[in-house]
Copies of this chain bind each other. A is one copy, B any other.
Amino acid sequence: MNRVYNFSAGPSMLPLPVLERAASELVCYGESGMSVMEMSHRSPDYEAIIQDAEALLRKIMNIPDNYKVLFLQGGASTQFAAVPMNLIKRTGKADYAVSGQFSGKAFKEAQKLGYDVKCIATTKDDNFDHVPTITRDMIRPDAAYLHICFNNTIYGTKYPYIPDTGDVPLVADLSSCIISEPVDVSKFGVIYAGAQKNMAPAGVTLVIVREDLLEYAEEDMPTMLEWKTMADNDSMYNTPPCYSIYMAKLVYDWIIELGGLEEMKKINEKKANLLYDYLDSQDYYIAPVKKDSRSMMNVTFVTGDADLDKKFASEASAKGLKNLKGHRSVGGMRASIYNAMPYEGVEALVAFMKEFAAANPKK
């Protein structure tokens, strides 16, 4: 077995001890005589797994009791539709901040569904090289919610603050930064996240929703997209994505063993600092993101020469540093250094960056 360093933006690395444990009990889980994949979701063995997953996540994220935790399917993209369908009835209109491609998609989806939505802030004219500064006066007081994407995977930006939305519920897509550091859940009305970056294999979507926001679902919306239906059925209105939830549970176990999110944050900061400090110390590579908007999870950089960028990604891959090519819509390079990326992986990347810069002087 020769494991590579996988800098993919998602699906992405999972902790090796988690993978090894999953492999060891894949055919037969404990005393159950079967794989977790084969368990009825209504069996006591499986109910223990999903209940543990929720309890562990509540502990890790310090989720207040008045929030429901849902394990759903369909990815964050499905939530782009579910958010307005579940919430807009509160007042009839909603506000969006557009800080990158996915927040833009969320906004467009609400428009497609025919809702009265307004983009109150965007950094599109600056190529999304920073996140908007959102102040309370920008938000319509009668908005049903304000939607933001907290960490922008493609551009490598993150909100350095939680916007103060007053009485307007804040709805945030945390797909690419969930459980990477502590976050004050009580400041949000709804948090949602696809699992495939920091939490589990693709196929499970987390929704954390304040209970008082469960009362506004459209009458004529798909039942499977109703948060209240899922909350009332403990995420088991139908068969949940059982194995992905089990994998999430193993990841939560791993985080607790590491010391929780405070410790996770220290590890992630150390990795990100190593890379950003190097970027700031030289002028071969350019880091396009403004310093106060830098993501700890997705680090973007370019050489300024598309051919060199291509050569970089290709040579890095040959050395076991995989998936460093930037998103197809922006080019350049992107190193996604989620929870499961070891510090040694970032060291290896920085060493390669130095080597490549020395070997490929710019004209």
**A residues near B, CB below 8 A?**
1-4, 6, 8-14, 16, 19-20, 22-24, 26-28, 32-35, 37-41, 43, 73-78, 80-82, 85, 109, 112-114, 194, 196, 201-204, 219-225, 237-244, 247, 320, 322-323
Partner of A239, one of B1, B75, B322: B75
Q: Which of A4, A8, A76, A204 has the most CB of B within 10 A?
A: A8
Whether the pair B11, A242 counts as a contact (CB closer than 8 A) is yes
Contacts A1-B28, A33-B2, A202-B243; A74 near B40 (Cβ below 8 A) = no
A69 smallest CB distance to B (angstroms): 18
**Chain B residue contacts of A20, Cβ below 8 A:** 27
A199 smallest CB distance to B (angstroms): 11
- When chains A and B are docked, how far (Å) is the Cα of A80 from the Cα of B78? 16
Q: Which 10 pairs, one residue from A and one from B, show the smallest C-beta to C-beta distance?
A: A4-B33, A81-B222, A203-B241, A37-B201, A23-B26, A77-B238, A73-B73, A8-B40, A203-B203, A78-B224
Whether the pair B23, A241 counts as a contact (CB closer than 8 A) is no
A218 smallest CB distance to B (angstroms): 10
Whether the pair A35, B19 counts as a contact (CB closer than 8 A) is yes
**Chain B residue contacts of A223, Cβ below 8 A:** 77, 80-81, 109, 112
- When chains A and B are docked, how far (Å) is the Cα of A320 from the Cα of B225? 37
- When chains A and B are docked, how far (Å) is the Cα of A320 from the Cα of B28? 14
Secondary structure class of chain A's binding surface, majority of residues: loop
Sampled A-B contacts (19; CB under 8 Å): A2-B28, A3-B27, A6-B33, A6-B34, A8-B40, A8-B43, A14-B37, A19-B37, A23-B23, A23-B24, A26-B26, A33-B322, A34-B322, A40-B323, A43-B323, A109-B222, A113-B222, A241-B241, A241-B244
Whether the pair A75, B23 counts as a contact (CB closer than 8 A) is no
Partner of A26, one of B22, B43, B78, B242: B22
Contacts A19-B27, A39-B11, A40-B323; A242 near B34 (Cβ below 8 A) = no
**Chain B residue contacts of A75, Cβ below 8 A:** 73, 224, 238-239
**Chain B residue contacts of A37, Cβ below 8 A:** 11, 14, 19, 201-202, 247
- When chains A and B are docked, how far (Å) is the Cα of A243 from the Cα of B3? 18
Whether the pair A244, B203 counts as a contact (CB closer than 8 A) is yes
- When chains A and B are docked, how far (Å) is the Cα of A42 from the Cα of B235? 29
- When chains A and B are docked, how far (Å) is the Cα of A200 from the Cα of B250? 21
